[in-house]
Amino acid sequence: MDLKQVAKDTTKVLSSYLTYQAVKVVISQLSETNPPLAIWLSNFSSTAKIQDGEAYIQELMGVEQPLAFRIMTVREHLAQEVTEFLPEMTIAAIAQANMKHRCQYLEKVTQFNLSTESSDPDAI
């Protein structure tokens, strides 16, 4: 298990996801101040490769540089404000989800055994 590689890959995914969130923020701001530009950015983002944050920024830089700079500033802000809570939140979310899956499994198994027992009175 190469934990360093996992951390690096996860950082890349996180960085791309925060770029996507920054795009959403900027579209929402523009829809109030400059609706036509909001529509333009929304259309651009649905066709451009937003899965890869860096490729997206690079592409946007070529056609609408001020917007690219604005999204870069917002994603930097989001990273500073949001990431510090992520370790605790993610560990808790996974622990909680795992417990839920285990409980559901136990419930299923228990009900299965109960219904088997009740349908077979000789087993008692």
Structural tokens at position 33 = 């101040």
CB 119, min distance to a copy of itself, A:
22
| 67 in contact with a copy of itself (CB under 8 A) | no
Residues whose CB is less than 8 angstroms from the CB of residue 37 and which lie 6 or more positions away in sequence, other chains included: 30, 67
Residue 8 or residue 49: which is nearer to a copy of itself going by CB?
8
Burial 10-28 (b: 16+ CB within 10 A, else e): eeeeeebebbebbbeebbe
| 107 in contact with a copy of itself (CB under 8 A) | no
Residue 69 or residue 114: which is nearer to a copy of itself going by CB?
69
- The 20-39 contact track toward a copy of itself, x by CB under 8 A, reads -x---x--------------
Residue 107 or residue 118: which is nearer to a copy of itself going by CB?
107
Residue 73 or residue 118: which is nearer to a copy of itself going by CB?
73
Tokens 């809570």, located at residue = 85
Among 39, 105, 106, 117, the residue binding a copy of itself under the rule CB under 8 A is 105
3-state helix, strand, coil in the chain (%, to 5): 90, 0, 10
